[in-house]
Amino acid sequence: MVDIVATIEAHRRWIGDAATGKRADFFKFDLSGQNLSRAELQEGTFVGATCVKSDFAFANLTGSDFLGADLRGTNFENAKLNGSNFRGVSLVGANLNHADLNDVDFRGGTVVDIGNQTIGRNVTDLSSCVLDFAKLVRAQLAGANLKGSSLIGANLNNANLVGANLENTNLRSANLSSANLASARLGNANLESANLEHAILRGARLEKTNLKDAALDKTDLEGVDLSTAHVANTGVRIGLANLPLHLQRAFRDHEQWLSSGGKVGERCVLKGADLNSVDLSGRNLSGMVLDGSKFRKGNLAGCVFAMTEMKRTDLRGTNLERAIFLGTNLSGANLANARLAGAKLVPIEICNKDGTRTNKFQKTNLDGAILTGASVSKEALAECSCINTRFST
């Protein structure tokens, strides 16, 4: 049986002079519920220890070894833990507010003791933890489970979060500059006002992730699907490469279909697609079927829409400057506050299947469309069909 008080006292002497003291060793010891706040236990050993709901607030545990420890509900508020080993631990529901966790290793890890029993776990569990304003610079969190945890204002500069589970995590105002979040799961996470400059998010999953006001300068978002993420005030451009794979494929197949005259590829039919805030500027979207799709606040500047079906599309606040509409069907579309400076909305001649001319023309159709607040003159719409088109509130 370990005498906790005597062990701490011997450890205190060991810190000053190894010859007169002894390093604290709580290997597989049960410290559950113990009050060890403000204890000086730097470089102590807690391998396989059970510390459920123990209190280490303000303790100095720098460089300590907690491999495989059970730390559920433990209080580490304001504790010094920099450089410690937390591989394979369970920290479910623990309090690490303002803790110094710089250079801490949170990766999964196991060890087999002399009784052939396995200590630790393959995935370190930090789910439902509170790590608000914690210091996690260069922390090793690859593959860790942080689901549902709170890291408001935490400093994760240069942290390794490759493959980590950050679903439903609150990272508001956190510093993730130069962090590696490749393949991390960030669904429903809150990254509002977070700093992600120079961070790597390649292959990360951001379903319904809140990135409002986040700093994304030189952030690597290659292959990241941002179609459902909230990116307001970030300056990030959601391009084709940031759409779901089935949408990327649909656009590529349509390009082949257009360039080959329908011999290869496939016509793009995307009824009701959510393409809000997407940047498709300069693309040839002729012949597509986009009825009921949403392009709100997107960038479609310079696009070509020859005989494109766009009935009831949501184009509110969309940039359509210099776009070319040739016989486009925009009936019932909502173009309120859309930017149409320099756009052309003209008829197109209908040709026979063999390409011969018919001298018959199809107008761009704006019947029943809403253009309130849109930056377009009535002269630019002179050759359009504008039956029941709404120009004012």
User: Could you give the percent of the chain with pLDDT greater than 70?
Assistant: 99
pLDDT of 65-86, one tens digit each? 999 999 999 999 999 999 999 9
Measure the CA–CA gap between 57 and 74, rounded to whole angstroms: 9
Q: What average pLDDT does range 45-49 have in this prediction?
A: 97
pLDDT in tens, 250-282: 999 999 999 998 899 999 999 999 888 889 999
Q: Which domains does the chain have, with CATH numbers?
A: 244-393 (2.160.20.80)
3-state SS, residue 290: coil
Per-residue CA distances from 365 to 184, 269, 302, 336 (Å): 45, 19, 19, 16
Q: Kindly report, residue by residue over 8-45, the tens digit of the pLDDT.
A: 999 999 998 888 999 999 999 999 999 999 999 999 99
Kindly give, in sequence order, each residue whose CB lies less than 8 Å from that of residue 256, ignoring residues fewer than 6 positions away. Answer: 264, 265, 266
When pLDDT is averaged across residues 281-293 and rounded to a whole number, the result is 96
According to DSSP, residue 116 is labeled S
Query: What are the tokens at 343?
Result: 């756009």
Nearest to 335 by CA among 384, 287, 288, 286: 384
CB 92 within 8 A of CB 70: no
Under DSSP, the state recorded for 379 is G
First-to-last alpha carbon distance for the chain, in angstroms, is 81
CA 156 → CA 46, 102, 165, 187, distances in Å?
25, 9, 15, 19
CB 305, CB 283: distance < 8 Å: no
Is the pLDDT confidence value at 355 over 80?
no
Residue 1 pLDDT greater than 80, yes or no: no
What is residue 241's three-state secondary structure?
Answer: helix
Provide the pLDDT confidence category of residue 104 given band limits of 50, 70 and 90.
very high
Say which amino acid occupies 280: L
